Structures are given as C-alpha cells and as structure tokens.
Structure 1
Amino acid sequence: MFRSFTHVRRGLRKTLALFSVALWISEAPQGVFAARMPEDAPVRLGIVAYVRPSPFEAVVRPTIEALRAHFGERLEVRFYPTADLARAVRAGELDVFLSSSGFFLSMRAAGARSLATVASVDYPNPNHNDGAALVVRSDREDLATLADLKGKTLATNVPESFTGRLVLAGEILRSGYDPDRFFGAVRYLGPGERLQSSLGLLASGEVDAANLRLCFLEAWLARHPEDAGRFRVLHRKDNLGAASAGDDETRTGPEPCRRSTDLYPAWTVASTSVTDPDVSRLVTRILLDIPPSGEHGLYWSVATDFSSIDRLFRDLKIGHYAYLRERTLRRFVAEYREWFLVAGLLALGLVLHSVRITQLVRRRTAELVRALGEQKRLELAQREAAERLERLERTGVVGQLSTIFAHEMRQPLGAISLYSCGLRKMTATPNFSPEHVRTVLDKLDRQTARADAIVERVRAYAKRGSRPRTVFSLESVVRRAVADLAAAGRFRARIATEVRSGEASISVEADPLEIEIVALNLIKNALEALEQQPSIADPLVTVTIGASEGRAELAVRDNGAALDAETLEHIRTSPPSSKADGLGLGLSIVRGIVENHGGRLAFEHAPEGGLLVRALIPLARRATRDPSSSSSPNVSSADTLNTL
C-alpha cells in the first residue's frame, strides 16, 4: 500500500509540473514560439470540400483570416475532396486540416490529433452538435417509418461523407437492417452546393428521400418560404422539440433543427503526424481566441469525447475497424458467437438426448428380454400344465381303468380263447358230436357274460379303489385344477372360483389325485359344453367351494343354454358323453370316486341357465385318520375277479 501511495504521489507531481508548463505556454508571448519556428517554414492548411450551404460554413472565413493574421504569407490554404484530403494527410502534405469529426477520427491512425471542434449558441456542446435529417415529401403517406424506405431511392452528397452517408448508415444498422443493402438505389450528387438539387429531385419524385446535414432543411426553408410544409423529416430523433434531445444531456431547451440521427462532434481542426508542436500550440490558441461568428454564433471549442464516432465506425466496420470485415475464423466465431452458443447447446442437448435414448433403449431391450423370457416361461408352464392334465387323465382314469380292465378281463378272455380253440379242433374231426358243440357254446356264452360283468365292474371302479387317503384342503386341490385348466389355454370360457365358508379351510380325507380328477372332469365337462355353444357372448364356468351339514361341497355350473327336464333326468340316471369320441366313462368314474368316499353327485338346473353339478364329500375329522381305517370298504381287483 505504501508503494502504491508513493507511485500516486509521484504521478501527481508530474501532472502539476506539466500543468505549470502548459500554463506558462498559454501565457507566454507569441514571440517566444515564433522565435523557435523557422521564419520561412510554410503552414499548410487543408479544408474538406464541404456541402453548401452548411451550418458551420460561417466559421471557415474567420478561421482562415485569424491564422493568416498570425502566419502571414506562410499560410497555404487549399480545399480538397474527401478522398484527396485523406491521401494528403497520409502523405504528410499538410500541417493542419479542417474536416468533419468522422473524417478526423478515420485519420487518427495516420497521426491526426484534434486541436479544436466547432460549437454554436444553438449546439454549445462540441461532443454532440452534428447529425443528419432524412427528408421526404409531406404527401408521401406510404413513408411513415425508416423501414418504409427499404428498397427506395436516396439522394445524398458523396460516399465518403460523414453526415452524408455514415451517420445515416449507423442509424439504419441500429434499426436492424444492412445499410449496404437497405436502399434500392443511392444517387450521389457530389460535394459543394450540388446537394441543394436533392430537394428538387425529391419534389419531382425522382428520389424518395434526401439525406441532408443537420439544419440544412431549416436554412433552405428560411431562404425559400414557399416550400414550407412541402417536406418533413422522417424517423425524428430530436424528440419533436422536447427538452432533452438526442445524446446531448446538457441541453436545457428544445433543439432548433430537426434530425433523424444521433448527434456527434461537428467540424474539427486537427494536426497531422508532420506538424511542428509549436504550430499545434499556436493554432489551438488562435482558434480558441476567435470570437463567435455568423447568425448561429459559431466558435471553436474543445471536444472531449469522440467515442460516439468510434462506436459508429466499429458498428459499420470502417476506418480503423475495417479489419472486422475480414472473414477470419476468429472474426467469424466472434461475430456469430451467440449462434455458436445456441448450436453448442443444441448439440449438447442432442448428445444428452442420445444418451437418454440409448439408456431407454437398453432399458426397454432389457424389459423386452425379460418379457420374452416371461412369455417363454408362461408358455412352458402352459405346456407343462397341459401335459400334467393329460398325465392326470391318463394316470387317474385311463391308467387305472386299463390296469383293472386288463387284470379282470384276462381270465374270461383266456377261457373264451381256449373254448374257441377246442371248438375249432372238434369241428375238424369227422365224427364230432353236436351235443359237445352245444356244451362248448354254452361255456362261451357264460364267459362272454362274465366279461360283460367285468366291464360293468370297471365302470364302478371308484367303489373298489385302494389308494391311500390323507387330510388336505379341498380349496387347494380345486384351485390347482383350475390353474392347470386356465394355463392350458384350450377353452374360450372364463373360470371363476368362489369359496363360501366361515372357516379358514375346508378339509376332506381322501385321495388328492382322485379328488383332483373329480374337479378336473367336472370343470372340463362344463368348459367343453360351453365350447359347443358359440352363441354365448361371455361363457363362464363358476366353481364354488363350500361346506354345510358336515359335508364339503364342490359345485360347478356354467351359463350355457338351459336343459330340459328329460335331458337332465337322463344325465342323472345314465350320464352319457356329449363328445363324438367320448366313451361315456368320465362322469361314471367321477360318480364312482365320489361315492367311494362316502359322497354323492347331484345334477340340477343352474339359476342362470346351463347345468349345475354338485359333488358332496364328507368333511375330514380333526385328527388325520389312518388310511387302513377308512369307513369305505377297499376291495382289491382279485376280490373283484372272485365275485365274477
């Protein structure tokens, strides 16, 4: 901190020293500077060929006269077009030049330095006292805003003019348009007094608008009162004479002139890179000592802020900002950085979206794989259920029937075969006895009757079962049978299961396989009956499990067509098979199994139509009984054979 304070103190000392020197120079006699300058050295003054009439024209002659009074014949004055003046400044052919502030700023890179800037009684702030007015005919109702001039024809002085082109171009750019492509055509009338013809072109309709220097229109109307009301200023920025006008915050009253652009520093006198410092100091003092002149009270002041012109040049990419028009990669990125940012955000969004989509695809793929696996598992379970049903049918019915039938039928079939063989041999002898033949035939009849009795006995198989019995939940066996049938997917009808009991479980003491065969056959018969009735819109088989009066009840009903009394009675007495390939044994075996367990089958009309079949089986006692103690007699196949 101490070092910083020391540095600031030294800077203040240097500033005070320079201020003292400057004060001494300003108060020193003119002869001091004259003595330092070569007496025969010329002082070359270049003046831009400005547009006439100009609001600042009145300051030109007093300036030349004041400089000539000090430098005498050494002062050389010459007027230059804008392009020639620029060439002369860069070539070091001038010591001092008078031009617009815009031209001066463009020459700063060549060594130009501001000495003084024009001010006036109307515009006393030298930083904000020059601009332009965009003039159109008052009767052009189609031209209400700056945007209405797009594609139209403009009249102005020269392409290099600060107020004639650049100031208006900046205004067009700030309005969101390209100034190089805004107008359909631009007529450059040239320097000097030629711009006065623009109002005539405007009045005749040859051009749509004229770009005039600040206060040019007011000076014209003062000399030509007959044109009052004929023209108007478009895109006014003087705030219609408001107290605060344009960029000049120091103004306390309305502006005397209408304008369409911002205000910039006006004419400026500047030195060049070859100017003798003594000449610069002398010229500055001479200019500041010139009294106000002209009807607007023009005088020389010192402008302190040329940043508005610098911003204008930067926006238009001209002068020392012309390099901005070069299409380099860095410039391209800097110019379109907002779009690059948007593109980057979009690219980032696309990447994130792609990552998200990839994750979703992977997740969906995994879910699909799991779903396919689940589908395969269900298909496998369905096939296993169907196979289990088939095994149950084969094992529970066909297997047992085949075993009993084969065992019981072996003896009568053997006897019939023996008698048939003996009869064949007997008839082969020439002297066989008819009496013997009748005897053999009688024996064949007895064996045939015996075989028929065996068939009837097999039909009553369930009454002679010998499988062990256990205590189990009737609901679990029935639900397993329902699940197997539903998983098989062979039937159109739905299966609904109901349990009607206040107890936790309905248990029976029986052979689980045989009871499952009972449930499978009853439910399957109901499903197959509904399959033969396609007119039923919503086929339904209801399986109800209940208990009452010491018996477990398995009720199966369908919502098919109602049965007449004759059909129901026929089913009760001799239940046939309704299937084309049926053997008529299914319900017979079911009846036998139920009756073998001390129960019974009941066939009734279902309330909603169709058939209701109820299997009533005694409930199990609390303790599990020994299978050998079953109350129902267990008769073996050998006993059956002996009874025949």
Structure 2
Amino acid sequence: MNLKKLLSTFLWVLILVISVPCLAYEGLTVKIGYAQGLELYHQSSILKETLEYLQKKIPNYRFELLPISSVDTQEDIKKEKIDFLIAPSNFFVELSGGIPFTHLATRIFDGTKDPAKTVGSTFVVRAERNDIQSIKDLRGKNCAASLPDSLGGWLAALGEIKEHGFDPDNFFKTKNFTQFQVPDVLNSVLSGSSDVGILSTCILEEAEALGMIEKGSLRVINKKTDDLSPIHCARSTQLYSDMSFVSLQGVPEPLVREVTVALLSMPVFDHSRWSVENDQYSIRKLLRELRLGPYSYLRDNSLTGLAKRYKTEIIAFVGILLFLIFNEFNLRRLVNKRTRQLSDALKAKEEADREAAEERKKFATLEKNGIIAQLGTIIAHEAKQPIATLTNYLQIFKMYLDRKNDNDAFSKDVFENMENQVSRLNTLVNSVRNFAKQKQNPQIKTDLVLITQKAIRSLEATEPDIEKVKISFNSKLKTALVLADPFSLELLILNLLRNGAQEAVSNTAKGSPILKVELSLSNDNKSFILLVENSGNLMTDKDLSRLVSLGESVKPDGLGLGLSIIRGIADLHGADLGFTGRDKGGVIASLRIDQLHV
C-alpha cells in the first residue's frame, strides 16, 4: 500500500515538473519574428493568415509578429527574445551555426509535383523589347530587383546566370534594388528605367490577376517549359524551397508541438499550405556557387580567406608533407643505421679475413717448417749410415793402396778431395739435424679450450666446403691448462679437424656430414682428452693401422706428411695420439695431453 502511494506521489511530481515550462508560457505573449525584407504582399497573405490561425487554434497564448533585420539578425533575435521565426529558406542556411533552431514547416504550393521546390525567379522585360530574347541578351543591361538576399527575387536568378556560363557579379550594367517587387520592380521595368526585372515565381501572374499591370505587357525571358512550376506559373530558373517556420532554442516542447500541429492542419490559403517538406541541399549548393552567405569566404583571396576556403586540402597537404618529411628523416636514419651496420660488418669481415690470412700464413710457415724439419730429420737419419759406409770404404781402399806402395801424386790428390767432400756432406747432414732440433718454439702455459675454439674458427674461415658440415664443440671445462707451444698445438688440432671435415664431406653416405669435438678431463685428473669425431666411410683394421703408422695416408693421393706432422707435434708435447673407427662410419681421433698444475 505504501509503495502504491509512493509511486502515485512520484507520478504527480513528474507531471508537475513537465508542465511547469508550459504553465509558465500560458497566458503570455509568443513572439514570432519575420524577415524584414518580405514583400508586403507576402506579409498580408502569409503572415497575417498564419498568425490568425495560430491565435484561433491556440487561444491560451497571444501571438505577436515582430520584424527582424536581415543585417543584425542574431542580435535582434536575442534582443527581442523571439520564440518562432518565419523567413525564406536561404535565411536559415545563413543562420545555421549561429543560433540553434528546429525546422517545423515549409510553405508549399498545393497540388504541385514536387512540394519542396516551389520558389524561383522570373526574368521579365517589356513585351516590345525584341532585342532581348535570351539570358545572353540580358548581359550589360539595367536590372531591377527587390532585395539582394531575396531567394526568388534575386539569388535564384544569379544561379541561372552562372549556370549559363556567365559571371553573375559583373553580368548586369546596373542593379537597382527597390525592396519590394510589387509594385516597385514592375513599375521600374514598365517605365523603362530598367531593361529587365526579377520577380519571384507567380508574382507576375498574381499582379496581372489583380489588375495591377496589363496582361501581356511583360514578357518572360528563358521560360522553362516543364510542368514543375507551382500552379503552372512561368519561371526562368530552377525551383527551391519556399519560406520556413522554425522554433528557436528555449521554447517549451508542448508549445512547439501545438504550433506544429496547428501549422500542418492549417487549410489551404492563397493556393498554399504549410508542410514538412524541406530541401536545404539545393539552397546550400546555390549559395556555395554564388559564394554568398556562409560561403562568402570563398570571395576572400587573402591568406586568411584562402586558408578557410581550402582548409581541408591544406590540412591534408600539410599532413602528407609532414608524413613525407618524417618518412624522409626515418628513411635516412634507417639508411644510416643500415650503412653503419654494413660498414661494421664489412670491417669485421675484413678484420676476420686479415686474421685468417695471418693465421693461414703462420700455419703455412709452421707446417712448412715442420715438413722441412721432418724431411731433414729423415734425410739426415737415412744419409748418416751411407756416408759412414762411404768413409769406411775410402779408408779401406787407401790402406790397400798403401800396402801396394802405389801412392802417386794423382791418386793422393783424388783421395784427399774425396775425403773432403764426404766430410763436407757429413757436416751438412749434422747441420740439418741440429737445425731441425733447434727450430722448436718454447712451450708455455696454454688453455686447450681456447686453442680448440681457435682451431675451429680457423677451419671455418679456410675450408670452402665447411658450411656443409655440422660442427659441434662440447666441453664441460671452462679452462684446460697445458704446457705447450700454442701454434704447434693449434696446428695439430687444425689438421685433425681438417682431415675429419674433408672425410665427412666426401664420404658421408646418408644425412648431413658430422664433425664433433669434445674435451674432457681423464678419470685420474692428470690429463685432458680431446676427441675429434667425424662421419664417413667404415674404417677397416688395415686403414686404422695405416693411420697409426708414420708416413702412410689413407687417402689415394695422400703423402702422409700431415699425419707425420701432427704425430711429431704430439711427440714433442709428450701427448698420445690415437685413432678408432665409428660404428656408423668415420673416425674418432683422440689426443691425450698432460694437465698443467699451477
């Protein structure tokens, strides 16, 4: 029960609140403004009948008509506190954006095919003016019109002139604005003061019907032959919407609703009635083409006017320009960045190539020295015994000749020369052997991890087919210190890697060539074990024995010098070098070298 009372009270309060604006207006004066330039004839036929009908249908209010200046429109509306406004449709196009309003109704001619298009202009000249037959003939003539802001009495005519390709601003020689079409414009043409007059649609027919002028005394120029004209009135231009009735901001909604209903229910008056039809687009288009009203800025060729006229294009251009500038700077930044990166990469590559070249040169020299040392050792070792034998035979032969007392001067000279040459050859052999022994570099503290990594990098830099091989290096040791000659040890590891890589590339039957390198500590923690494992052909016991043998190669065209070199380097470092076969094909080379305890 309490809830029902509460809801009932709330509804009554709501109704009271809604009714307050209407009650505040009830019994008060409602001010209806009208454009001051409206011709007297229209004022009597439209304003008077509309005002009387509103007063009849809505008796609770007193309706009052007030003239509004076409110059100080907004000031007059605010000053007079206008509630409703009646004016030509172009008037509201110019007013839009200045004062908020709501369109209620537009005057149309009853029975027309297009009610939204009812007003236009009519060019009239005296009937005897045979020199004027078209709009082109009106150029340079004297013109009479009502007001410069009249839609039917001037603006529509300018639009037609422009549509025919002429400049409406400089089309007529003189322009005489008389304020009223009837009788001022008619009298100006008939008296000869003006060559042509501009009338709103149906003004000519109404003046003739009222007997104000003799029928046929005026002739219409550029007469349209279609049947769109209201009640078949003559016209020279296209048609536009007629006068509109609008409510201004602040008028209570109930009052607006009552006025709207009254206007739309008002019977036909003077062949006209109020309707909701309205065509603002064609009027806006006309004013834009004529650069008038809200489009008058199009006539301004100053920087401000041009900026306002081409605001959208300028914003778009500036936006595109800023985008292009930003894009240019961004491209330059990216190009500079990429150039620096490329330059750095090229420098790094050049540096790597230079280091690789130096390393190759060092290794080539070391390898050549190793080969020379090995060859010198072999030659010296093998030549030592033949030289000793040759010396012994010379001594025996000399003793034989001494016994026979056959020591002539020539024989003695020959034996001395032979002894000298054999002694010289023996000295040369001993020099080679001593050179081979004295050419070794001193052994120092060396990190086997770093040496192995360096050998892998050298292999990658020097072998053309190394990209085909999948190389992996596995070491759980961060450092592995040994006592060694770094270059010799690196040459040893590099030879193992190169031989393994070449075998993997040449003889791997299935899958990618594999080259695995693993470094670990022996179980007794006294030495390091380096394993180099590569894929390839299955190795027989004979092949493995050839690898172990000094001076033999498993390659068809190999000389075995590489194996001799790495075995010699291993021996110099007290390291053990061995080879075993892989189950899937290939070889595992192992190098065991003593750990350096610091």
Taking structure 2 as the reference length, what is the TM-score of the superposition?
Answer: 0.49
Taking structure 1 as the reference length, what is the TM-score of the superposition?
Answer: 0.46
